[in-house]
Chain A
Amino acid sequence: MQAFTKITATVAPLDRANVDTDAIIPKQFLKSIRRAGFGPYLFDEWRYQDIGEPEMDCTNRPLKEDFVLNNSDYQSAKILLTRENFGCGSSREHAPWAIEDYGFRAIIAPSFADIFYNNCFKNGLLPIVLSAELVDDLFSEVAAGYELQIDLEAQTITTPDGKVIKFDVDESRKYRLFNGLDDIALTLKQSDKIKAYEAERAKRAPWLFVAQ
């Protein structure tokens, strides 16, 4: 997994609440058995005029000009600014895969859906929760060339005029994201604890340890 340390990047404003994972990556693209290549189909129905199909070449597809990602001001954006309950709906990890594959590294919103929030950390994406008021302020400031600096270690966002906003993140999630660590390798180091748990649990719930 790609580590997240510090970035300074353009911000793309997606001014909608309850953006669901069906909107982030429509279901036809979930038929892929690969993990990469979802970026061109990110927000497919909002981004293109035609109906997207898996493996389609997107270079010449007609664009919906009013969609934020089609605005030339935000082409190199690595930070997505959006509204509450971002990523609600399906658990599809294809949603963070598509966002990351497109080039985003961080998402700022007043709230995220739980499963999506969790999935971001497995994919080098930093979801940042700020108060609705702070998010409102950022929406009012965003314009062409507007950049934010995000520092995970310091847990700060710095605006172009030097204002510093603190954000919260769990220590263990931060540690793994900052170092780009593989969760499974870390968990397997605790194999002895898992086996001890199983031995103890087998006494309390033997039916879960009958071979099926």
Chain B
Amino acid sequence: MSAQTLYDKLWHDHVVHTEEDGSSLIYIDRQLIHEVTSPQAFESLRLQGRAPWRTDRNLAVADHNVPTTDRSVGIADPISRLQVETLDKNCTEFGITEFDMSDLRQGIVHVVGPEQGATLPGMTVVCGDSHTSTHGASAALAFGIGTSEVEHALATQCLIQKKSKNFLIKVDGQVGAGVTAKDIVLAIIGAIGTAGGNGYAIEFAGSAITSLSMEGRMTVCNMAIEAGARAGMIAVDDTTINYYRDRPYSPKGDDWYMAERVWQKLHSDDGAVFDKVVEVDATTIKPQVTWGTSPEMVVSIDAEVPNPVDEYDVVKQKSMQNALQYMGLKAGQAITDIQVDKVFIGSCTNSRIEDIRAAATMVEGKKVAKNIKLALIVPGSGLVKQQAEQEGLDKIFIAAGFEWREPGCSMCLAMNADKLEEGERCASTSNRNFEGRQGYGGRTHLVSPEMAAAAAIEGHFVDIRNWV
């Protein structure tokens, strides 16, 4: 067989049947379920009298609507509460394992999956959430789906898909101090645009990628969707294997040794052909800050807010003008002069233990600036929170003036009570700076955990490369 890409291998490994026009029935190894995109799928199964094909390949957790404050009082918003209760009921009725709101393992679905070993190398992983691309960090084919497909995967353990094209993004060289996985992926999105990956599955490779921890790799793959690609992925290496050893849902005994051997092959072959290749020099990447209302509207910390008149494409120019108006920014303004009102460290992009540790290092012994109305740390799962507390990180944050919260999606999309008020500006470690994303009229700047932490201390963005 000719040389294959990692994506080719994962695809061919899961094809049940292919039609003449190329549309294929693909087997799904793991479905993750949350409360927002599943109720209509379960309801439809009920109406059609259909049962799940394999209950044990599904794992559910409520994350979008859950409060990050005291859980013992329940959910105040009756509509949010009903949605979470509906998930509980559906999982009980259909026999699906759920980590409910009181479970220590509860958290953001894309943090919980890898943490439990519920999403593994070589799997196809789906979830009714676009950030399912996160799980590609373990060389899985992982992508977000709509509710009709949630139902389809539940009922048939398969999805009807068409193969994407292959896109290699090779990031070589060592990033400088203060430059993180988040900056790498934001710089990539800035370079290729939010539609750059449409129709492609992206493989991230190169020394700057392989030197990242699994947490960092998850941050990169998480935002593949922000570059337009449903799936992002990274080849298996020792970092991958070591991460999955002894996770609760990881293979056990002889299965582990067999899995390890199989997983070692999950990389693109020498000579594999990609439809598109982009090379990025990691040494040129600086800490990134988004200034607009699309993740591609991003610049380096030492830059200025760009001027729409410098853009020749009229559609883009208009988008830039809209963004500047919405964001309340002026062209030419230094990024470091932008004052923020709130700081959010969390989300499926940046709420893993490594992110929390990195932020803690920045704030230790310092105080949140007076102009900051709220600085939130929302760990990605109950286990991340527990780990951080064992390391004493919660105390560092609380002493600095941060709020230390319960796990969930929180202010990434503001479906719970954590949100921006109209006109408020936020340094956020999340993944989307769309209009209204963090609250009606809210203004989001996407940054790394380190950059968000430093902004909380100074009250405005700072270049952490020369910040002490």
**Which A positions have Cβ atoms within 8 angstroms of B?**
15-18, 20, 22-23, 26-28, 30-35, 45, 51, 54-55, 83-85, 88-93, 96, 111-115, 118-119, 122-123, 170-173, 183-184, 187-188, 190-191, 193-194, 197-198, 201, 204-208, 210-212
Contacts and interface: CB of A to CB of B under 8 A. Distances in A.
B415 A30 contact: yes
Given A194-B16, A206-B255, A18 B195 contact: yes
Given A84-B195, A91-B146, A22 B129 contact: no
Give 6 nearest A-B pairs by CB, closest first.
A93-B146, A207-B251, A122-B148, A33-B39, A91-B144, A119-B146
Interface of B: 16-17, 19-23, 25, 27, 29, 36-37, 39-40, 43-44, 48, 50, 53, 56-57, 64-65, 77, 79-80, 82-83, 86, 97, 122-123, 128-130, 132, 143-149, 151-152, 155-158, 160, 162, 164, 194-195, 198-199, 225, 228-230, 249, 251-252, 255-256, 258-259, 262, 294, 315-316, 318-319, 322, 413-415, 432, 434-437, 440
A211 B56 contact: yes
Nearest to B130: A91
B146 A30 contact: no
B436 A22 contact: yes
Given A31-B83, A183-B160, A23 B152 contact: no
Nearest to A44: B436
Q: Which of A28, A91, A211 has the most CB of B within 10 A?
A: A91
A31 B415 contact: yes
A140 to B, nearest CB: 13
Contact of B294 (A18, A55, A93): A18
Contacts of A184: 48, 50, 151-152, 155-156
A111 B148 contact: no
Contacts, number: 200
Contact of A18 (B23, B194, B230, B437): B194
Contact of A17 (B44, B315, B415): B315
A176 to B, nearest CB: 9
Contacts of A171: 19-21, 23
A96 B146 CA distance: 10
B338 to A, nearest CB: 22
Given A89-B130, A93-B146, A122-B149, A18 B319 contact: yes
